[in-house]
């Protein structure tokens, strides 16, 4: 509680001497005081604004009937003054548009004030600046007076008051701004989009050696096809790459027409003759080749029919579903004589084969190698999934890797790059990146938009995305609005949880939330908690630890009202 014009008799006498305002002399002589309270007495940053509620009690028979009083709340800080709305009080005999103060009645005044926050306001005083106007005497126009002594401030007006004059003549009703809300780390809840990176990828190449009906002899033309030539080139190319492990197979098949036992033996012979042909073809590769027989190729038959233009192919496929026996299947299909003719020319010949399979396991770059490429300016050497991967596992090269990845215009790259910029505190750039992503990453987009706009102070815009955001994001948006009680219901551990508990007055819970966090920002928060507990030595130790890890925190601490006990 502050006392406006509450002075000793000495001060009252001095005021009478200094004040040339007739109506104000009488008010200054009155030993009773206008009592003023401000809630909170340490101001709080909330959603980009500094708000306070001021209450004043004017006793009966105190206010001069011919006096007018202007009271202007103002934030005073180094190099600046930000003034709020002025309240005009007027006595009974004053004809004006102010608040009437009847001489015979006590008056209770309540005013809500708001200031748009600026970082330079952190160490400030909330003061009341007072101007007086009387019908007679030297104060026929509004004149600034010292709100602590009643003395006239010659040549000064509230309209043009500077920081030094405001600080000297204003009545201080609150000191400093608690800006812990601005320390919330919204990037902690931002979501990255997963990548499809695999260190080892498998590339399977296939080529068929086709046989005549009921034959297992490999014709010369059968091993001179384009597919086999390409497979051979691939095997030889991979052989020169020590990052590739190849496994070669020859699988013998028979078309599903004719006796099943005969076809089983035929597929076995085809696997053997096919193996010999492939061993000869790839003699220079020096690789082991396995062979196996699979009998009638009903699986291949089904795939070939499905891909064909045979008129009744759906009927054939239905037969395959209805019957599991090879003999029954063949019988039913042969009964469709017109269909079977098409099968004999379009489908069955391609199933009389030995299939050559090369399964190549390709081991990609190591994380160390990929990191080196990015650091050396060779990020373009890497594929998209590699860039997304190394950005996710190595913060040191994340930005450069994702900038390269974004050249593909892949929405995952834009979303993840937005997260990188957010972690660096550049939410404006983060939003620019999110704007370039598309709905294929909608889940992450909604969440990250909500957090980025909340971090920028636009909680109204954040709310438009909050419904589809994570519970953690919703809790942080609640904290951005100053609803710390709601935020603590979701945020149970970590740095942000510590801040919301601290703002909610639960110091024990705040300490618990960061008990295992040894980062600079956690040490800084522990210093704030220690100050609030009255542990000055503990606060100093934690602050020194924080500054040793992050030197920029020294400047932050110099203007932090929460650490004023250390000054």
String of DSSP letters for 374-390? HHTT-GGGS-HHHHHHH
Cα(309)–Cα(312) distance, integer angstroms: 9
Check if the beta carbon of residue 136 is closer than 8 Å to that of residue 22: yes
At residue 338, does pLDDT exceed 90?
Answer: no
At residue 275, does pLDDT exceed 60?
Answer: yes
Q: DSSP character for 193?
A: P
Cα(272)–Cα(261) distance, integer angstroms: 17
Which residue reads 């503990």 in tokens? 538
| pLDDT (mean) for 334-348 | 87
| pLDDT (mean) for 365-388 | 97
In this prediction, residue 32 carries a pLDDT of 56
Contacts of 460 (CB under 8 A, 6+ apart): none
pLDDT digits (tens, 9 = 90+) for 111-150: 999 999 999 999 999 999 999 999 888 888 999 999 888 8
At residue 5, does pLDDT exceed 70?
Answer: no
In this prediction, residue 30 carries a pLDDT of 63
At residue 2, does pLDDT exceed 60?
Answer: no
At residue 375, does pLDDT exceed 70?
Answer: yes
| pLDDT (mean) for 28-55 | 87
Domain range summary for the chain, segments of one domain joined by +: 2-178, 180-198+366-471, 200-363
In this prediction, residue 335 carries a pLDDT of 85
pLDDT digits (tens, 9 = 90+) for 280-317: 999 988 899 999 999 999 999 999 999 998 988 898 99
pTM for the model stands at: 0.78
Q: Cα–Cα–Cα angle for 535, 540, 545, nearest 5°? A: 130
Burial class (CB in 10 A: 0-12, 13-18, 19+), 200: exposed
Query: Cβ–Cβ contacts within 10 Å for residue 309, how many?
Result: 7
Which range among 11-25, 307-321, 342-356 shows the weakest confidence by mean pLDDT?
11-25
Confidence of residue 198 (pLDDT cuts 50, 70, 90): very high
- Nearest CA among 154, 8, 5 for reference residue 69: 5
pLDDT digits (tens, 9 = 90+) for 417-437: 999 999 999 999 999 999 999
| pLDDT (mean) for 398-403 | 98
At residue 410, does pLDDT exceed 60?
Answer: yes
Can you read off the two tokens belonging to residue 521? 């920002």
| Greater pLDDT, 87 or 338 | 87
At residue 31, does pLDDT exceed 50?
Answer: no
- Nearest CA among 460, 462, 500, 505 for reference residue 484: 500
Cα(255)–Cα(183) distance, integer angstroms: 72
At residue 1, does pLDDT exceed 70?
Answer: no
Which residue stretches of 347-470 are H helix?
367-375, 384-393, 395-405, 411-423, 427-434, 442-455, 459-466
Check if the beta carbon of residue 371 is closer than 8 Å to that of residue 229: no
At residue 218, the 3 state secondary structure works out as: coil
At residue 454, the 3 state secondary structure works out as: helix
β-strands 99-100, 353-363 pairing: unpaired
Q: What CATH number was assigned to the domain covering residues 200-363?
A: 3.30.1330.60
387-422: b (≥16 Cβ within 10 Å) or e: bbbbbbebeebbbbbbbbbbeeebbbbbbbbbbbbb
In this prediction, residue 137 carries a pLDDT of 80
Confidence of residue 23 (pLDDT cuts 50, 70, 90): confident
Confidence of residue 8 (pLDDT cuts 50, 70, 90): very low
In this prediction, residue 14 carries a pLDDT of 40
Q: Cα–Cα–Cα angle for 512, 495, 464, nearest 5°? A: 130
> Is CATH 1.25.40 what the domain over 180-198+366-471 is classified as, yes or no?
yes
CA atoms within 13 A on the CB side of 92: 10
- Nearest CA among 109, 131, 98 for reference residue 24: 131
């Amino acid at each position: 509680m502050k006392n406006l014009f509450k002075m000793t008799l000495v001060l009252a006498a001095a005021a009478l001497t200094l004040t040339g305002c007739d109506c104000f002399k009488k008010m200054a002589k009155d030993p009773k005081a206008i009592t003023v309270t401000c809630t909170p007495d340490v101001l709080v940053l909330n959603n980009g604004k500094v708000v306070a509620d001021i209450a004043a009690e004017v006793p009966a028979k105190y206010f001069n009937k011919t006096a007018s009083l202007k009271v202007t709340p103002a934030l005073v800080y180094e190099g600046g003054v930000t003034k709020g709305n002025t309240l005009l009080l007027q006595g009974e005999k004053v004809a004006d548009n102010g608040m009437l103060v009847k001489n015979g009645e006590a008056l209770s005044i309540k005013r809500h004030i708001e200031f748009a926050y600026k970082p330079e306001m952190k160490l400030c005083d909330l003061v009341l600046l007072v101007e007086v106007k009387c019908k007679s005497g030297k104060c026929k126009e509004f004149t600034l007076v010292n709100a602590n002594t009643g003395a006239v401030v010659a040549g000064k007006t509230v309209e043009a008051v500077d920081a030094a004059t405001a600080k000297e003549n204003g009545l201080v009703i609150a000191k400093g701004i608690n800006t812990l809300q601005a320390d919330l780390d919204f990037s902690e809840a931002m979501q990255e989009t997963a990548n499809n990176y695999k260190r080892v990828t498998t590339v399977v190449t296939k080529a068929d050696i086709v046989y005549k009906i009921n034959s297992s002899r490999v014709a010369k033309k059968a091993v001179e096809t384009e597919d086999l030539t390409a497979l051979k080139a691939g095997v030889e190319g991979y052989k020169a790459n020590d990052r590739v492990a190849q496994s070669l197979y020859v699988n013998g098949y028979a078309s599903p027409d004719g006796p099943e036992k005969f076809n089983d033996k035929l597929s076995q012979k085809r696997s053997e003759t096919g193996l010999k042909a492939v061993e000869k073809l790839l003699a220079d590769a020096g690789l082991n080749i396995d062979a196996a027989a699979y009998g009638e190729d009903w699986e291949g038959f089904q795939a070939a029919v499905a891909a064909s233009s045979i008129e009744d192919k759906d009927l054939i496929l239905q037969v395959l579903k209805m019957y599991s026996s090879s003999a029954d299947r063949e019988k039913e299909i042969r009964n469709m004589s017109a269909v079977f003719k098409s099968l004999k020319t379009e489908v069955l010949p391609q199933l009389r084969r030995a299939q050559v399979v090369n399964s190549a396991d390709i081991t990609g770059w190591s994380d160390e190698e990929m990191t080196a490429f990015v650091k050396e300016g060779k990020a373009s050497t890497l594929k998209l999934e590699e860039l997304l991967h190394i950005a996710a596992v190595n913060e040191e090269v994340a930005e450069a890797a994702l900038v390269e990845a974004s050249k593909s215009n892949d929405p995952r790259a834009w979303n993840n790059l937005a997260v990188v910029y957010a972690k660096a505190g550049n939410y404006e750039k983060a939003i620019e990146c999110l704007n370039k992503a598309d709905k294929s990453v909608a889940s992450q987009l909604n969440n990250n938009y909500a957090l980025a706009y909340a971090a920028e102070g636009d909680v109204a815009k954040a709310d438009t995305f909050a419904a589809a955001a994570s519970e953690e994001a919703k809790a942080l948006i609640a904290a951005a609005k100053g609803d710390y009680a709601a935020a603590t219901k979701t945020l149970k551990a970590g740095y942000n949880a510590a801040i919301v508990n601290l703002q909610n007055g639960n110091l024990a819970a705040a300490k618990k939330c960061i008990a295992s966090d040894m980062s600079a920002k956690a040490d800084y928060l522990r210093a704030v908690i220690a100050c609030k507990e009255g542990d000055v030595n503990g606060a100093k130790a934690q602050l020194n630890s924080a500054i040793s890890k992050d030197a920029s925190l020294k400047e932050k601490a110099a203007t932090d009202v929460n650490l004023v006990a250390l000054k």
